[in-house]
Amino acid sequence: MNIEPYKQVLTKYWGFTSFRPLQQEIIASVAEGKDTLGLMPTGGGKSLTYQVPAIVMEGICLVITPLIALMKDQVNRLNSLEIKSMAIHSGISPEEIDIALDNCIYGDYKFLYISPERLSTRLFQARLPRLNLNLVAVDEAHCISQWGYDFRPSYLKIASIRELIPEKVPFLALTASATPAVIEDIMTRLEFREKNVLRTSFERKNISYLVRKAEDKGTYLIKTLHKVNGSGIVYVRSRKKSKEIAELLVSNGISADFYHAGLPIELRDKKHTSWTGGETRVIVATNAFGMGIDKAEVRFVIHWDMPDSIEEYFQESGRAGRDNKQSYAVLLYSPSDKSRLEESLRRKFPPVEKIKDVYEALCNYLNVPQGAGKDNVFDFNMADFVSKYRLPVIETYNSLSFLQREGYVEFTEEINNPSRVHFIVGRDDLYKFQVANESFDGFIKLLLRSYTGMFSEFVAVNEDTLARKSALTRDNIYRFLVKLSSLNIIKYIPGKKTSLVIFTEERLERKALMISAENYLQVREKYILRLNRMIDYADYNTKCRSVTLLDYFGEEADRCGVCDVCRERNELDLSKYEFDLILDEIKEVLTGRKADAQELVTKVGHPEDKVIKVLRWLLDHNKIVIDDKHLLSWREADLFSR
């Protein structure tokens, strides 16, 4: 393959003269028409692996992503580069979707972003065969696997579009975190014509992974942030805690702010920009803070609370050190965290009857009658819903998550949809209207001067901006738009900020809502297994942190030498080879039996002083226990209770 056209596109639009590791290999695979699974770490430049080849090739690229905010951000960026792009998601009207698809069929658009639940609608499937597709890109591809940590049933429908598009169109699946089981599942579920996985190492040599066991996390955090330089993120599990910890840091002279999904979008954007620009040093956030983080010089990511899985932890901690300079990923851990996790598990999986209660309440709240509602999209105010039906917030959220996992509904994060305007008359008829209605002439000219493209598609408009340009009040602008809409000159859709619920199936009777006990227990068991692996990471300090993380993703690696475990081992003045050899022999002697120290030293065939060093280290780290008769035994893993 001649790589030059792809490099030219990379330089022309993004200003880079060369590709990052693996980008070129993925692009070459896609250009040859091969179905490809690309595994790249967070911040590795996944989007360019489909954007660059799609621009070079004739036709349009279909990009499937569940993150509406990310979708809109990508479309805005591409359009700002004069690369025509469109987004279809559940937050826009059927009329807007209709016009958007027509433009993608007849216009020179290069990218159509779509949320997975829109793929199976009749409107989209009717138009899909007429799109001149050059590539289908599936972002967050791990969502297709029930073995993954973020399974979404709507992803299972992606492969069905293969029947509606030419066989030669390749699929590119992308993810930043996938275990070996998930990798296989992705290729199977997307019906890859042949297995084809391209991956970079997940190893981040510039990150020191540390676990700090601290009862008083606040004191540790303040001391640490006073000692280290640079900006960073502190991840927490609750909105309330994000504010409390940010206030604690500020009161101790540390520049900090908080961030969570419950804040107004404008305020979130302001906080994000302040942190990205360096005005705020530390952002204390829930996992809502993640999408679109492109700040390279993040020196530390600290987790106040333990995430639910290695995948989440690896993705969030991977936001440190994207400039390849030395950075730190710290997990704060205390014995009391286990009881919190037990309570979290209870709330994560409400009883099946509670889930059905929430489903019925949701249907009643949205006035959805039995047998109706399929593919309907509803604005949804979670706070009003739980207040009206007196439901516990967390259990309700988790019930909705389970209903989504079972394929009954989808629900989205809050969407900030701006107002949109589309002229539904042609230019000649508009001119006649302006001549006959002089009072509207000035306002129509203002619209046409301020925005382009309104005759061919819906265009986002800002009433406040129009008010400033015209010296009119915002209310006057709104009245003009409403009146022109009522006169069938324009179609005006006022902006709104809301979460959405999409019914992927019609409303069912309670007894027909199938949530099998077996499936419920399987989902719970998978969650517990992932949680156990996360607890193992925090609990056991005898294995290199980096090796533990990479092992989870099926990757072999040498000891990093810079995590807290490796640093302690380094102080023993033993090579990795010597340490591991002695440890394995000690474990072999003590597996299934007990021995006193002298017997152990005698049976391990290494110099006594070295055996004693390793033995002392194992005792210090609770890998070996000693009973009241001074006999040693190997400590079994203390897993999270099932």
Residue 578 and residue 471 share a domain? no
Q: Which of helix, strand or coil describes residue 316?
A: helix
Domain assignment present for residue 557? The answer is no
Reference 49, options 165, 218, 172, 226; nearest CA is 172
pLDDT for position 292: 62
Reference 290, options 278, 279, 311; nearest CA is 311
Residue 368 and residue 274 share a domain? no
Residue 115 and residue 52 share a domain? yes
What is the average per-residue pLDDT within 26-50? 91
Burial label for 251, CB within 10 Å (0-12, 13-18, 19+), is exposed
Instruction: Give the lowest-confidence range in 130-139, 251-260, 622-631.
Output: 622-631
Residue 149 and residue 106 share a domain? yes
pLDDT for position 290: 75
Q: What is the pTM of this model?
A: 0.81
Residue 130 and residue 77 share a domain? yes
pLDDT for position 20: 85
What is the average per-residue pLDDT within 354-358? 94
Radius of gyration (C-alpha) of the chain in whole angstroms = 28
Q: Is the pLDDT of residue 481 over 90?
A: yes
What is the average per-residue pLDDT within 533-552? 89
Reference 545, options 211, 206, 309; nearest CA is 211
What number of other Cβ atoms are within 10 A of residue 361's Cβ? 18
Joined tokens for residue 299: 């020196």
**Residues of the domain holding 255:** 207-334
Separation of alpha carbons 220 and 211, rounded Å: 12
Q: Please report, for the domain that includes residue 380, its CATH number.
A: 1.10.10.10
Q: Please report, for the domain that includes residue 240, its CATH number.
A: 3.40.50.300
Structural domain ending residue among the three candidates 334, 358, 384: 334
| Percent above pLDDT 70 for the chain | 98
Which residues contact residue 466 at a Cβ distance below 8 angstroms, ignoring those fewer than 6 apart?
446, 447, 450, 472, 477
The number of distinct structural domains making up the chain is 5
Domain assignment present for residue 536? The answer is no
Domain assignment present for residue 535? The answer is no
Which residues contact residue 497 at a Cβ distance below 8 angstroms, ignoring those fewer than 6 apart?
264, 265, 414, 415, 416, 417
Domain assignment present for residue 62? The answer is yes
Residue 593 and residue 641 share a domain? yes
pLDDT band (50, 70, 90) for residue 541 = confident
